[in-house]
Structure 1
Amino acid sequence: MTVVTAERITTAAQALAIATELAEEFRQGAAERDHARRLPHQELDRLSASGLLAITVPAAFGGAELAPSVVAEVVRILAAADPNIAQIPHSHFVYLNLLRLAGSPALRHEIFTRVLAGARIANAQSERGGATVAEIGTVLRPVEGRFVVDGTKFYCTGSLFADLLAVLTRLDDPQGVSGLAPGEYVAFVAAAQPGVRIVDDWDALGQRTTGSGTVAFESVGVDPAFLVARAAAVAVPTGYGAFAQLLHAAIDTGIARGALDAAAEFVRTQARPWFEAEVTRAVDDPLVVQRFGELGVAVAAAEATLTVAGAAVDEAVRVEAAVGQASIAVATAKVLADRAANEVSAAVFEVGGTRSAAATHRLDHFWRNARTHTLHDPVRWKYQHIGRAVLHDRPPPLHGVI
């Protein structure tokens, strides 16, 4: 259980200033935390106490209700310093958005109040057993006036730090005794509730401290008031998927900027020039300068496209007709962010030379984090949706992942 006293953020300028301050703090030791897999419990408490995790709470419930573009910029700033910490609250913001779109007034009041006080939400969504990631085996069954959840989830980012878990389930009620419509439901469950088992088994090559391991549910009781029908957010044009994907693009864009800054610092302070350049400093090698120009363009393009996508999602929140264009704008940003994060994080060694590969410098964490996070959903399908929009004026699908 998070035990903090959270500040109240009221403006975008305040949010960005606090994010910048925390990023400077989190940057210290980020590479070592990632290398040693030292979980950032204290850093997450600082994040909760700062009030940043409550910036999307609607004004009607006492929050700042800041725009998606502001949230994306906060995430980008944090990701440039420590992409592990930046990814942990991704699901927190996504499921607060689900509540905004589809939660009952009573549930919104309950959870928004907790979040304003510093509570954290993590996802329990993905599974490994189905033919595709879209298949849900975790079931929600009615039992004597309430419900129970049974199943096992993987890639549960932030679960080790969470107060509440947002559990994606499939209603198993063939007799219709619950009175609920068939389909998928998100159950909000206390992380410390009996029957919940959170396993610290995340062993990916990157994003090593995100707490993205396994969560198992065995006959976990759920009050009907803590259920949200997912269809209300994803089966109609709400911008739910565009918002979620915007934050993923922000993480990758932040990684690209962090890698570029680290590469420049290394070349300025550690690298030696190639002898054929006939210069005394690596920063004066014309081919190194050229390469940094190319990398700088890649990062700037990702950042600019993220800004455009953020503005598009802001508009989609206000105007339903803008949702399709927002998803395409975010898909474009995701493609460029993916490209920049992977290219720049690999080029750190190209421009730094042999000594940059020494383990003591910990420069590998940029590439490992970029390569791991960009696997989240394939950009090859982003190109498909962009191409169909350009050629056929076809809107993107409503499945919550674009």
Structure 2
Amino acid sequence: MTAVGAARIASAQQARTVAAELAAEFAVDAAHRDRERALPFAEVRKLAASGLLAVTVPAIHGGAELPPSAVAEVVRLLAIADPNIAQIPHSHFVYVNLLKLAGSTEQQRRYLTGVLDGAQIANAQSERGGATVADIATTVRPLAGGQQFRIDGVKYYCTGSLFADVLAVLTKLDDPGGVSGLPSGQYVAFLPADTPGVRIVDDWNGFGQRTTGSGTVSFDSVVVERDQLVARSAAVDEPTAYGASAQLLHAAIDAGIARGALTTAAGFARNKSRPWFEAQVHRAIDDPLLIQRFGELAVTVSAAEATLAVAGAAVDAALGAPDQVADASIAVATAKILADRAATEVSSALFEVSGTRSAADDLNLHHFWRNARTHTLHDPVRWKYQHIGRTLLHGSPPPLHGVI
């Protein structure tokens, strides 16, 4: 894992301060990077060097061991400035959590020490061609002796892979003869991004979140050692905060987009918009109907942020407390619904409240809406309503698949 001389974060307040400082810097050229699809290599290196990527590393390994709520606040602040940069480390935090829940002591020491030094993990998880997005065709097969394994397959939407030192590859064990002695199921292989047989392609062409490095990664006879494999079952087959923590960060990204769009709209209305003639005012911001609309949008954003904070506290409480995991999942689902709504509504209303001038393509104000519309495609909220309703009416806990 690559060391970049990362700083050490010691507290949630320090993490928030550092994130706010970086966000202010990243915001300056965010629209330009989006317009030109300029991948933020320098910005991601600064993020890694800041120590923020290591804030969840356990204290026993030298980290701050900050709770999910603190990470969500860091991600929200980054998303206000540039939601692309906020999304890039999402899977990094997810797979650090997997190591904490399911990795051996030696695996934790090996990989989390690298994270403390600034190394970045990215996902190679999603596939195409299966009946559903949950189907995994990429296999890990034991070689002779059962100590080494071979990975073959193709992954898509591998966010952050272009910036990563380590890839976390979701596979299924293909060992009908039991050569390896491992139980059947899904395994995550942690392997250096430059491992022979790994090919990372910059082919992500979404109209939003354009600079997340979410390209295709292929694996052709990639050889990994047994100690690079982590069984996923310990994180997803029992009640843990693993899935809720991951979904909390998605909600934080959407809440950040909403706040960024609202702040930009307010600045545009103050400095560039002209009043509608019927308002009979000299400044657009004195139009009572415009004031009303901004008030409505502010409530929408504040509600999303408040619900995100409540969800963060619920996930914190669920750490190591299986009996509280269902409540945390429902709280996060609620936060994700409101954040989704806020991000898409406010990023669209930006033009409504700013006027015709805001639609100029060179301003690229539409990057807020494109980013919101693209990112909110993660884990459809229509199913979150279902799980919330079933829990309320039937008293049944939500499923453990991790995307509630």
- From 221, 224, 231, the equivalent of 2:223 is 221
- 2:74 is matched with which residue? 74
Give the ranges of 4+ consecutive aligned residues of structure 1 lying more than 6 Å apart after TM superposition: none
Equivalent residue letter for 1:123: N
- From 298, 303, 306, the equivalent of 2:305 is 303
Q: Aligned with 1:136: secondary structure?
A: coil
Trace 1:308-347 onto structure 2 (pairs within 5 A): 308-347=310-349
| CA RMSD of superposed structures (Å) | 0.8
- 1:243 is matched with which residue? 245
- 2:102 is matched with which residue? 102
Query: Any stretches of 5+ residues in structure 1 without a counterpart?
Result: none
- 1:84 is matched with which residue? 84
Equivalent residue letter for 2:57: V
Q: TM-score, normalised by structure 2?
A: 0.99
- From 127, 150, 153, the equivalent of 1:151 is 153
- 1:161 is matched with which residue? 163
CA-to-partner distance for each residue in 1:281-308, whole Å, 9 max, x for gaps? 1101111111101100000000000000
**TM-aligned CA deviation for residue 361 of structure 1:** 1.4
- 1:185 is matched with which residue? 187
CA-to-partner distance for each residue in 1:246-272, whole Å, 9 max, x for gaps? 000000000000000000000001111
Structure 2 Cα separation of the partners of residues 360 and 133 of structure 1 = 36
Structure 1 Cα separation of the partners of residues 370 and 40 of structure 2 = 18
Q: Aligned with 2:158: secondary structure?
A: coil
- 2:119 is matched with which residue? 119
Structure 1 Cα separation of the partners of residues 3 and 114 of structure 2 = 11
The answer as to whether partners of 2:68 and 2:312 remain within 8 angstroms in 1 is: yes
Structure 2 Cα separation of the partners of residues 21 and 159 of structure 1 = 25
Structure 2 Cα separation of the partners of residues 389 and 400 of structure 1 = 16
Aligned length in residues:
402
Structure 2 Cα separation of the partners of residues 99 and 34 of structure 1 = 33
Structure 2 Cα separation of the partners of residues 390 and 285 of structure 1 = 43
Q: Aligned with 1:154: secondary structure?
A: strand
CA-to-partner distance for each residue in 1:107-163, whole Å, 9 max, x for gaps? 000000000000000000000110100000100000123101000000000000000
The answer as to whether partners of 1:2 and 1:45 remain within 8 angstroms in 2 is: no
**TM-aligned CA deviation for residue 360 of structure 1:** 1.8
The answer as to whether partners of 2:121 and 2:165 remain within 8 angstroms in 1 is: yes
Q: Aligned with 2:348: secondary structure?
A: helix
The answer as to whether partners of 1:2 and 1:162 remain within 8 angstroms in 2 is: no
The answer as to whether partners of 2:120 and 2:163 remain within 8 angstroms in 1 is: yes
Is 1:64 the counterpart of 2:45? The answer is no
Structure 2 Cα separation of the partners of residues 222 and 286 of structure 1 = 64
The answer as to whether partners of 1:83 and 1:207 remain within 8 angstroms in 2 is: yes
Structure 2 Cα separation of the partners of residues 40 and 127 of structure 1 = 25
Q: TM-score, normalised by structure 1?
A: 0.99
- From 197, 205, 210, the equivalent of 1:203 is 205
Equivalent residue letter for 2:305: E
Structure 2 Cα separation of the partners of residues 353 and 15 of structure 1 = 37
- Please identify, of 1-10 and 42-51, the stretch whose mean Cα deviation from structure 2 is larger: 1-10
Trace 1:250-265 onto structure 2 (pairs within 5 A): 250-265=252-267
Structure 2 Cα separation of the partners of residues 231 and 79 of structure 1 = 31
Structure 1 Cα separation of the partners of residues 320 and 334 of structure 2 = 21
Is 1:52 the counterpart of 2:45? The answer is no
Structure 2 Cα separation of the partners of residues 393 and 59 of structure 1 = 37
**TM-aligned CA deviation for residue 2 of structure 1:** 4.6
The answer as to whether partners of 1:107 and 1:225 remain within 8 angstroms in 2 is: yes
Percent of pairs identical after alignment?
Answer: 70
Q: Aligned with 2:319: secondary structure?
A: helix
- Please identify, of 392-401 and 321-330, the stretch whose mean Cα deviation from structure 2 is larger: 392-401
Q: Aligned with 2:142: secondary structure?
A: strand
The answer as to whether partners of 2:141 and 2:151 remain within 8 angstroms in 1 is: yes
**TM-aligned CA deviation for residue 189 of structure 1:** 1.0
Structure 2 Cα separation of the partners of residues 359 and 350 of structure 1 = 15
**TM-aligned CA deviation for residue 105 of structure 1:** 0.6
Query: Any stretches of 5+ residues in structure 2 without a counterpart?
Result: none
